[in-house]
Structure 1
Amino acid sequence: MYLGWLIFYLASVGSPSAAGNCSYKALIEHLGLGSGDVQMTSMRPVSMWETPTLVYMDLYVTSITEVNEKAQSLSTQVTIFIKTEFATTENQYVQLQNQGAVVTSNTLAATTTCEMNLHQFPFDVQSCMFTLQSPIHSNKELVINPYSDASFLTFSSKKAFQTQGEWELLNINTSKANFSTLGDPHDQLIYKITLKRRPLLYVINFLMPVLYFLILDLASFFVDSTGGEKLGFKVTLLLSISVLLLLLQDMLPSTASDIPLIGVYCVVIFTLIGISVLETILVNFLIAKGKTTVSVKKKESSSALSDVVKDTEGSPGSETDRHEEQRYTSDALKQILGELQAAAHLNEKERKGLCWTRVATIIDVVFYFLYLITVIVFLLTLFKAWFP
């Protein structure tokens, strides 16, 4: 962020020989300390030492360089008459206006802390405070006032804006306050800079893929559950969202006071897909149980039928012993009757196997509608929270 400061010193320096005049300049000359210009730089530009110096300031934002969410910091470049290790070459020129105002400005870069509320990330609006005050002069010696109003500062800053990055400048507000430690209170001029994030990059690269995974999970209910493709597909979706959650961890600070809504968005969708995977496992288990029951009973019935055929083929074909033939015929009839009973029992087991399959189908259909309703309610609630 580039910040422009415009400082006006309104000085009314009178003649030191005037009657009743008691200025810093007169005092220094009376003590014989005014032989050089070095002493002149330490004096406030007033004729009477009891008169406070009036300072008017303006702050202009021309670009935003970096906002670090992890470090909760804001990188800025300002224009002001101070010295820091980030400052550019100090301006050696000042402008003296005909009404007695002295205007000066310098440009420097600075990194300041900015407490951020990332609850609505990436649709968040951040406000950063810049507080200006004199480190040594109280409000009896130095009075700081804003030169322009907030609307003019906002309009001028937007007009001079140089970059179109992730952040958009909304407005600049000014306010005054007094701060007191041990002595007299100091004047404070507070600038509140409101920034709005442009969320398009996060919507395309993060929010939309997670939403697509949820839609694919809803569509996977129309895949046949008899094979293992449906379960494998759902597990793949779950792993994909896990990767996106790792990326989200690198974006957001770990010391956030409120859980960001984007975290709630990802965790809830991850949980929903996880529950969907468990439901698919249950449905596959019920279908497999029904198939196992039917296949086992069919195998037993086939074995009994083969025994009947063997017994019939093995009966004697000689007509010499009628009683033996009747006995074998009676045994064959008994075997056939047993086979009919086994077939009836098999039909009962088949019905039981179909019952397991029917239960699995009912669970799948009911879960799908409940799942769909839950997804719709969650997305609507999240949308209202993101855009109140």
Structure 2
Amino acid sequence: MTSLRPVLHWKTPTLLLVDLYVSSISEVNEKAQSFSPHVYMEMGWVNEFTKWNPVDFCGIHHMCVAKEMLWIPDINIIENIRTEFSTQEPPVLKMMSEGIVTVVYSYTMTSACKMNLYKFPFDTQSCTLTLQSFLHYIDEFRIKAYSNASMLTDGSKLFFKTQGEWDLISINMSNNQLHAGGRVWDQLLYTITIKRRPLLYVVIFLLPILYFLVLDLASFFISDDGGEKLSFKVTLLLAISVLLLILHDMLPSTSDDLPLIGVYCSVIFTFTAVSVLETILVNFLKTRSVQAIPKWFKEAAAAPLDTGERASHSPPDLTGETSGETSSIAVLQQILSQLQKAHHLLSAEKQQQTLWWTKVAEVIDKTFTVIYVNGVMLFLQQMWQAWFS
């Protein structure tokens, strides 16, 4: 009775009715693409050899017997990825007068789950648990769900004990058939839908990145003199780089689509990097000047000035000077005057060009600020629609 299917005719398939309830979710590992639920599985089937009339047995309608005394179906969970997992097997089976046998198992397992992290941390995941018998084909063994989806969902939420990162949304079931090697197996699929609670990720990750972006916008009001603005922007860039490293440890690198949070951080990092480059360009334009005047020209312009001053303050020549020497002094004074005029013209031209480059830098800075603010607002709007659409 314990090794053969409990049917009077061997062609009669055994029908197994199953209910699966989720009581907790201990871990969801995004990098390993797995989740660890604790489930209760209630099974019932008909044993055609254990039917009796309660009238003949003092009105006994049901009784408990040791599980070694009756046949128990082999039910396996296909997605289980651990060779050993915690199972609490009851020592007895409940047997009814109609031949119905029921048993409840408690499983703590780690199963594979293909996750879509595109909207992380505002994501909803659907993980599947597939129940199947390896020993019996579909013509010998059928497996069906006893309760409907709403009853399983409500019962699981009633049993749900943990208040962790994930909320249980729903449990749905469907039947499938596995074809392999010319054989067919009956399968029962339970789809467990869970939703992440994103508050922690918003507080410790998304908001700091947004604050860095706001600080980068505010840095446009810092003066360009002294280099404090450039140092401030570079510090913001390094801070965002650290958060990108943290994000790399959180998400798997084999995802088909780049998660939106990766786009969010990368674009903000790009905005900050472009802002740093713009600050470097503006500082370069504001400090640019015309080519320096040659040293020999400055010395030539200053030397006659000293000679003229000495000539104007020197005592009168008592010995008398010739008319040729007087002419030489007049020529030197004329040369001095011309050199001073040239020096003043070069200085004015230099100042004019310096003011022109400063004007260009201011125009570039204002234009970039307008484009930068509009680009940031448009980007944040698109991210909001992509996350919550």
Category of TM-score, reference length = shorter chain: 0.7 to 0.9
Question: 1:191 and 1:76 mapped to 2: Cα distance?
Answer: 13
1:342 offset after TM fit, Å?
2.2
Answer yes or no: is the 8 Å Cα contact 2:24–2:39 preserved in 1. Answer: no
Answer yes or no: is the 8 Å Cα contact 1:238–1:274 preserved in 2. Answer: yes
- Matched residue SS, 2:359: helix
Q: Tell me: CA distance 1:166–1:89, structure 2 relative to 1, closer, same or farther (3 Å).
A: closer
Q: Tell me: CA distance 1:175–1:89, structure 2 relative to 1, closer, same or farther (3 Å).
A: closer
CA deviation map 1:30-69 (0-9, x unaligned): xxxxxxxxxx111222232222112111111111100111
Question: 2:91 and 2:309 mapped to 1: Cα distance?
Answer: 123
Structure 1 runs of 4+ with >6 Å offset: 81-84, 298-302
- TM-score of the aligned structures, taking structure 1 as reference length: 0.82
Partner AA of 2:6 in structure 1: P
Q: How does 1:271-282 map to 2 (within 5 A)?
A: 271-282=270-281
User: Which ranges of structure 1 fall in alignment gaps of 5 or more residues?
Assistant: 1-39
Question: 1:171 and 1:89 mapped to 2: Cα distance?
Answer: 25
Answer yes or no: is the 8 Å Cα contact 1:150–1:173 preserved in 2. Answer: yes
Partner AA of 1:313 in structure 2: E
Q: Which deviates more from structure 2 when the two are superposed, residues 138-147 or residues 97-106?
A: 97-106
Q: How does 1:191-340 map to 2 (within 5 A)?
A: 191-290=190-289, 293=290, 296=292, 306-315=302-311, 317-318=315-316, 320-321=320-321, 323=323, 324-325=325-326, 327-329=328-330, 331-340=332-341
Question: 2:330 and 2:12 mapped to 1: Cα distance?
Answer: 135
Q: Tell me: CA distance 1:243–1:300, structure 2 relative to 1, closer, same or farther (3 Å).
A: farther
Partner AA of 1:146 in structure 2: A
CA deviation map 1:363-388 (0-9, x unaligned): 11111111112212222112221122
Aligned-residue Cα RMSD (Å) equals 2.4
- Matched residue SS, 2:36: strand
Give the equivalent residue in structure 2 for 1:342: 343
- Matched residue SS, 2:127: strand
Answer yes or no: is the 8 Å Cα contact 1:298–1:346 preserved in 2. Answer: no
Give identity over the alignment, percent: 49
- Matched residue SS, 1:164: coil
User: Which ranges of structure 2 fall in alignment gaps of 5 or more residues?
Assistant: 44-74, 77-82
CA deviation map 1:192-243 (0-9, x unaligned): 0011111111111111111111111111111111211111111111111111
Question: 1:300 and 1:127 mapped to 2: Cα distance?
Answer: 82
Partner AA of 1:48 in structure 2: H
Question: 1:89 and 1:341 mapped to 2: Cα distance?
Answer: 101
Question: 2:294 and 2:385 mapped to 1: Cα distance?
Answer: 58
Answer yes or no: is the 8 Å Cα contact 1:214–1:273 preserved in 2. Answer: yes
Give the equivalent residue in structure 1 for 2:174: 175
Q: Which deviates more from structure 2 when the two are superposed, residues 180-189 or residues 276-285?
A: 180-189
Give the equivalent residue in structure 2 for 1:67: 28
Question: 1:133 and 1:281 mapped to 2: Cα distance?
Answer: 65
Answer yes or no: is the 8 Å Cα contact 1:226–1:287 preserved in 2. Answer: no
Partner AA of 1:375 in structure 2: V
- Matched residue SS, 1:314: helix
Answer yes or no: is the 8 Å Cα contact 1:301–1:346 preserved in 2. Answer: no
Pair 1:79-2:77 in alignment: no
Q: Tell me: CA distance 1:171–1:299, structure 2 relative to 1, closer, same or farther (3 Å).
A: farther
1:191 offset after TM fit, Å?
0.4
Question: 2:203 and 2:296 mapped to 1: Cα distance?
Answer: 59
1:133 offset after TM fit, Å?
1.3
Answer yes or no: is the 8 Å Cα contact 1:304–1:339 preserved in 2. Answer: no
Question: 2:88 and 2:114 mapped to 1: Cα distance?
Answer: 30
Pair 1:151-2:126 in alignment: no
Question: 1:278 and 1:252 mapped to 2: Cα distance?
Answer: 30
Pair 1:58-2:28 in alignment: no
Question: 1:300 and 1:271 mapped to 2: Cα distance?
Answer: 48
Question: 1:156 and 1:302 mapped to 2: Cα distance?
Answer: 95
Answer yes or no: is the 8 Å Cα contact 2:23–2:39 preserved in 1. Answer: no
- Matched residue SS, 1:248: helix
Answer yes or no: is the 8 Å Cα contact 2:168–2:194 preserved in 1. Answer: yes
1:170 offset after TM fit, Å?
0.8
- Matched residue SS, 2:167: strand
Answer yes or no: is the 8 Å Cα contact 1:150–1:172 preserved in 2. Answer: yes
Of Structure 1 and Structure 2, the greater strand share is in: 2
Give the equivalent residue in structure 2 for 1:358: 359
Q: Tell me: CA distance 1:275–1:44, structure 2 relative to 1, closer, same or farther (3 Å).
A: same
1:298 offset after TM fit, Å?
12
CA deviation map 1:132-151 (0-9, x unaligned): 11112122222211111111
| Paired residues, number | 346
